[in-house]
Amino acid sequence: VSREQAIELARKGRDAALELYFQSLRIPSVSALPEHAADCRRNADFLVEELGRAGLTVRLVEGDGHPTVYGEWLGVPGKPTLLVYGHYDVQPPDPLEEWVTPPFEPTVRDGVVVARGAEDSKGNHMAVLAAVRHAMAAGGGSLPINLKVAIEGEEEGGGNVLPTFVAREAAALACDCVLVLDGGFVVPGVPCLELATRGIVYTEVEITGPAIDVHSGSYGGVSPNPFNTAGWIIAGLKSPDGKVLIPGFYDAVREAPEAELRSWRSSGITEKQILEETGAPELAGEDEYPMLVRMWARPTLDVHGIRGGFTGEGTKTVIPARAVMKVSMRLVADQDPLRIFQLFKKHVESLATAGTRIQVRQLGPPSSPVNFGIDHPGARAAAAAFEKAWGKPVMYTRAGGSIPVAEDFAKHLRTGMVGCGFSQPGGRAHSPNEQMPLDAFHRGTEMLIHLFWEFAELSG
C-alpha cells in the first residue's frame, strides 16, 4: 500500500521534482576545471540540503578535492541495505559554440531537457532525491529498506575523495547491494542492467624537440619536430585496423562468456543505431569482432588532442618546441591498469626519434575494469523494478565507459553490484546539447520507488 502511495505522490509531485532537477542543472559543476571548484562545492551543499530535507542524515565528506555527499537512513535494522552511487560533477561544456541553448540554462524542447549534466548524471541522482522524498512520505517517515547514498564530485575529473572514503569507512558503508547509478539505456525504451565496466588509463605524452619554436625554413630538415614524432608515436601505438601495438597489451584480456555474447546478439542494437548516435560515416576498429564486443569486451586506445604548435588562422611556419598529447586506453577484465600503464610508457619511450625527449605521465587515477555479477538479490530487484516502471523486461549489457569508483566498491565492500541509469540513446553525454527526456526522469523516479520495495521483498 505504501508503495502505491509513493508512486501516486511521485506522479502528483512531478513539477516540484523537475524544479529541483533544473536547479541542480544550473550549477556548472565542472570538476576538471579549477575555476569551477566553488561551483562543485555549491552543488554539494545543495544536495546536502535537499537530501536532508528528504529525511536522510547527510554529511559532506571532505578530502583533497571536491567533496562527496553522503546520506543514510538506517531505520529498519534487519532489513537489507542498499547503497546508491551517483556523481554531481559534469564534463566541461566546450565547444560552447555548438550548444543551441547555453549549457547551464536547462531548456525543455519537445519533452526533452537540454543541459550539461542532464543525463550524465544529474538526471539519475535527482530522481533518487524525488524517490526518497515520496517513499518517506508514503511510509510515514520510514523506508522499506535501509538506504545509503553517496554522490561524489570527481567522476569526470578524477580524484580521491570518494575512494579514500570508501577505503576508510568500508564498515560504515557495508550493504547488500551497490546500485551504481551512472548508466543508461542502449535501446530506446528497453531498460538495461550493466554487468561490467571498462577500466581506463588516461595519459599525457609530452614530446620536446627544439628548446624554442624555430623557423621551419631555417631549420626544416635538421631540427627535430615534436609534432612529426607525435604522429610516429600514434602510428606505433595502434594500427588503422584497430589493433593496439603495445607489446603485452592483450595478454590479460578475458573473452566474454557465451551467455553474454548471446544476449548481445539478440539485443537488437544495430550498427545503424550507433552510426546515427555518433554521426560517423562508418564504423572503425577491429572488424573481426562484432560491434558490441568491440564496445564492451575489447580494450582500445584513443588520442584526445595534442596541445602545442600553431593552430590559429592562417600560416605560421614554426617547428614547435613541444607537443603534449592526451591518450587514453579503455581496459577490460583482467587487464591491470598499472601494468598497462607501465607497458604503454615503456613502448612510447621506445618510439622517441632523433632529437626528441619524451615524458609519459598518468592523468587522474586509473580505473580497473570490473565485472559486477548478476546472481544476487539487488540485481534481481532492479530488474523487477525496471520492468514495473517501463513495462518491459530488462536487457543485460556492459558499460563501455569507466566508473572508477566501481573498482573501489568491488575491492572494499565485496558485495553485489548492479549498474543502471535512466538516460536514453542519443543523449549526447560529454558532447554539446546533452539531453534527457522528462519521461525518463519521471519513470526513473518510479523505478527507484519500486526498487526499495522489491529489494525488501526479495531479500526478506
Q: Which is nearer to a copy of itself, 104 or 453 (CB)?
A: 104
Tell me the residue ranges of DSSP E strands in 146-299. 146-152, 177-181, 192-197, 199-208, 214-215
At residue 8, φ and ψ (nearest 5 deg) are: -60, -45
Is the Cβ–Cβ distance between 305 and 326 less than 8 Å? yes
206 binds a copy of itself (CB under 8 A): no
291 binds a copy of itself (CB under 8 A): yes
288 binds a copy of itself (CB under 8 A): no
Residues 458 and 460: their CA atoms lie apart, in Å, by 6
267 binds a copy of itself (CB under 8 A): no
Q: Which is nearer to a copy of itself, 77 or 95 (CB)?
A: 95
Which residues lie closer than 8 Å to 24 by C-beta, 6 or more apart?
43, 46, 47, 88, 117, 122, 126
Residues 344 and 158: their CA atoms lie apart, in Å, by 20
274 binds a copy of itself (CB under 8 A): yes
250 binds a copy of itself (CB under 8 A): no
Please give the DSSP secondary-structure letter assigned to residue 79: S
Q: Choose which of 96, 222, 245, 338 interacts with a copy of itself (CB under 8 A).
A: 222
Q: Choose which of 219, 342, 396, 411 interacts with a copy of itself (CB under 8 A).
A: 219
Please give the DSSP secondary-structure letter assigned to residue 120: I
Min dist CB 298 to a copy of itself, Å, is 5
What DSSP line would sit under 19-74, residue for residue? HHHHHHHTS--BTTSGGGHHHHHHHHHHHHHHHHHHT-EEEEE--SSSPEEEEEE-
Min dist CB 231 to a copy of itself, Å, is 2
Stretch binding a copy of itself (CB under 8 A), from 79-87, 300-308, 337-345, 413-421: 300-308
Q: Choose which of 9, 33, 60, 253 interacts with a copy of itself (CB under 8 A).
A: 33
428 binds a copy of itself (CB under 8 A): yes
364 binds a copy of itself (CB under 8 A): yes
Q: Choose which of 46, 88, 227, 455 interacts with a copy of itself (CB under 8 A).
A: 227
* Residues in 96-115 that interact with a copy of itself by CB under 8 A: 98
Q: Which is nearer to a copy of itself, 238 or 450 (CB)?
A: 238
Q: Choose which of 43, 397, 402, 415 interacts with a copy of itself (CB under 8 A).
A: 402
Q: Choose which of 122, 148, 294, 347 interacts with a copy of itself (CB under 8 A).
A: 294
281 binds a copy of itself (CB under 8 A): yes
Residues 124 and 445: their CA atoms lie apart, in Å, by 9
* Residues in 158-197 that interact with a copy of itself by CB under 8 A: 158
358 binds a copy of itself (CB under 8 A): no
Q: Choose which of 118, 175, 230, 379 interacts with a copy of itself (CB under 8 A).
A: 230
* Residues in 311-340 that interact with a copy of itself by CB under 8 A: 311-321, 324, 326, 328, 330
Which residues lie closer than 8 Å to 358 by C-beta, 6 or more apart?
205, 206, 207, 208, 229, 233, 348, 349, 351, 352
Min dist CB 329 to a copy of itself, Å, is 9
Residues 460 and 457: their CA atoms lie apart, in Å, by 5
Q: Residue 6, SS3? A: helix
Q: Which is nearer to a copy of itself, 168 or 215 (CB)?
A: 215
Query: Within 10 Å of residue 311's Cβ, how many Cβ atoms?
Result: 8
Stretch binding a copy of itself (CB under 8 A), from 70-78, 235-243, 341-349, 438-446: 235-243
261 binds a copy of itself (CB under 8 A): no
Please give the DSSP secondary-structure letter assigned to residue 283: -
What DSSP line would sit under 146-178, residue for residue? EEEEEEES-TTT--SHHHHHHHHTTTTT--SEE
Is the Cβ–Cβ distance between 176 and 307 less than 8 Å? no
Q: Which is nearer to a copy of itself, 9 or 363 (CB)?
A: 363
| Residue type at position 407 | E
Q: Which is nearer to a copy of itself, 81 or 402 (CB)?
A: 402
| Residue type at position 186 | V
Is the Cβ–Cβ distance between 418 and 372 less than 8 Å? yes
Q: Choose which of 143, 246, 295, 384 interacts with a copy of itself (CB under 8 A).
A: 295
440 binds a copy of itself (CB under 8 A): no
359 binds a copy of itself (CB under 8 A): no
Residues 293 and 343: their CA atoms lie apart, in Å, by 24
Residue 352, all three cell numbers: 622517441
Min dist CB 121 to a copy of itself, Å, is 12
Q: Choose which of 141, 188, 189, 231 interacts with a copy of itself (CB under 8 A).
A: 231
Cα→Cα distances 221→56, 109, 229, 300, 317, Å: 68, 56, 14, 34, 13
* Residues in 51-90 that interact with a copy of itself by CB under 8 A: none
Q: Which is nearer to a copy of itself, 297 or 413 (CB)?
A: 297
* Residues in 139-158 that interact with a copy of itself by CB under 8 A: 157-158
